[in-house]
Chains A and B, each alone.
Chain A
Amino acid sequence: MATTKPDKGPPTLTVTVFAPRNAESREFTFPQTMRVGEAARAAGDAFGYAVGGNPTFENADNEVLDRDKPLVAAKVRDGDKLELVDAGGGV
């Protein structure tokens, strides 16, 4: 009888996220192909940020990640520490 491997789902990465409004960080696991903006929005929701804004992440090198890129394309790696930031401009 043929056997099939159980579907493990898409590859994921686990990161530590800091949010300005919280003194404590949290860990999140996201699909590697999830867009930065979607992941940042999900993290923002968990930290209690209001709907709206332009959430993204800043990495340990102070680079603000492109919200439209998949996490893996933005060079996010498993174990990274990311800061939640709002990428909105002035008005």
Chain B
Amino acid sequence: MLVPRAVSRAALTAEMRAARAWAARKGWKISISVRELRVTARMAHPADGGDLILRGDFADYRLLPPAWMFLTTGGNARVPAAWPSPGPVLGGSSIFHSVGVLCAQFNRLAYHDFAGPHPAWGGASNWLNVNEGVRADTVADMLMAIRLHLQFSPGRMG
């Protein structure tokens, strides 16, 4: 662990109120566990109406961005049907890259040092300086970005 949990908990706590307000405006159900450093959001896939479960793990926040993943109700992130498929987003590409990888500056798992596809971003600890593609640096902004791309998703990855 790089950041004391108390520090990450304080950072997450500071962003909770805005994240809950955003979720209330957009109709997403979110739960925030400061103790476990975890954010879970549940929403309907706009294309099929079925449930999606999104989880962010916030250990070492804000030195590192959270690790975001879609899960089955059983907690499995490797099931393609748990992941929204990519669609063109406003003339650009989607952050829904492949099963297990949400390709955005605010996802730890997109960085090469966490087995992600982006070696050029300078490592996950450089996340607040990366300015490529969609950008988000608070919990609510991350949820906003994921929701926007979800609106253009035609279905699921499997």
Contact = CB atoms under 8 A, between A and B. Distances in A.
Interface of A: 18, 20-23, 50, 52-54, 58, 62, 64, 83, 85-91
Nearest to A56: B90
Interface of B: 15, 17-22, 25, 86, 89-97, 103-105, 118, 128, 131-138, 140-141, 143-145, 148-149, 151
Given A52-B135, A89-B90, A89-B94, A23 B144 contact: no
Label chain A's interface by main secondary structure. Answer: loop
A14 to B, nearest CB: 20
Q: Which 10 A-B pairs have the closest CB atoms?
A: A89-B92, A88-B134, A20-B140, A90-B95, A91-B133, A23-B21, A52-B131, A53-B135, A20-B144, A21-B138
Given A88-B135, A90-B103, A18 B25 contact: yes
A74 to B, nearest CB: 13
A90 B133 contact: yes
Contacts of B92: 88-90
Task: Indicate the member of A22, A87, A88 with the most B CB atoms within 10 Å.
Answer: A88
B149 A85 contact: no
